[in-house]
Each structure stands twice: as C-alpha cells, then as structure tokens.
Structure 1
C-alpha cells in the first residue's frame, strides 16, 4: 500500500507538471489545453476510483480548460485528499464490551 501511495504521489506531481507546461509555452498553451483537459480528466478517473474520482475529473477538466488556472495542482490535491485528509485513522480510544 505504501509503495503504491507514493508512486501515485510521484505520478500526480508529474501530471501536474504536464499541465504547467501548456501554461508556460506562449501561444501553445491554449491548443495544448484543448488536448490536455479531457486527457487529464480521463487519467484522474483511472488513478482514483469511485464518486470522488468523477468529481475530481470534472474539476480537473474545468481547471485545465479555463485560461490561467493551469497553476492549480489538481492531481496532487486529489492525492492529498485521498491519502492525507480522508484516510481513515485508527481511533486512539478502544471500547471493550464487558457482559
């Protein structure tokens, strides 16, 4: 699990960097976004599963399609959401039933 987790983090950072490239190249950015926006949405649904991935894919598509929003690291934010903020943590308190 841990290796997969960090492989997804590296992939997320790489995919966000691809999104930045279209923003950095003047004149090419708009054309690149036309191709990258649906591709990023598709990749998001393959990297993560369930309803969360479909919501993240929609956000990724809109973020890549809108001008000047390429700097938002959508893939990395999704990784943080899945593995840091919504990860189930064991409870510190344990209840023991005594009959």
Structure 2
C-alpha cells in the first residue's frame, strides 16, 4: 500500500514540475525578441531536466525533442513536459 502512495506522489510531482517547466518555456515566448534569445539558455536546460525526470528511452527521446522544440522559434507553446507525462502514465501504460 505504501508503494502505491509513493507512485501516485511521484506521478503528481512530475506533473506539477512539468506544468511549471512548460510555463517557464512559454514565458520566454511572451517577451518579443528577448524571449527567443532566452531560449538559447532554456533549451539545453529543459532537455536536461526532461531526461533527468524520465529515465530510459522515453527520457532520452523526450529530452532531445524538448531541446529541439525549445530552440526553434515560435514552438514554445507546445507543452512538451505535460505531453511526456501523458505519454508515460497513460499512453505507454495501456500497451
């Protein structure tokens, strides 16, 4: 029973962190011109955070995709952390 609680807490923790990180990534989009330069700093950090949060193949692939999504202009609106959470805990679990 205690393990079930820990798993749910881990899921919730990753969801909340993911929402925060997605908001941070979108925040740079709200500042014209300056935001795109901020992505140069945020993109590698976001990629690292993604691969740290999600281990294995999912983390590696999501980390690369997050880096690319954050470094490309005008793609900051994609919530990559939240999408990875949905994939990990709902789509992948159903398989």
Question: Which 4+ runs in 1 deviate beyond 4 A?
Answer: none
2: CA distance, partners of 1:69 / 1:88: 29
Match of residue 47 from structure 1: 53
Match of residue 93 from structure 1: none
Scaled by the length of structure 1, what TM-score is found? Answer: 0.86
1: CA distance, partners of 2:47 / 2:82: 14
Structure 2 residue corresponding to 1:14, chosen from 20, 23, 30: 20
Runs of 5+ unmatched residues, structure 2: 1-6
Structure 1 residue corresponding to 2:30, chosen from 4, 24, 30: 24
RMSD: 1.1
Matched, 1:86 2:83: no
Matched, 1:59 2:65: yes
Aligned residues: 89
Return the offset for 1:60. 0.3
Scaled by the length of structure 2, what TM-score is found? Answer: 0.89
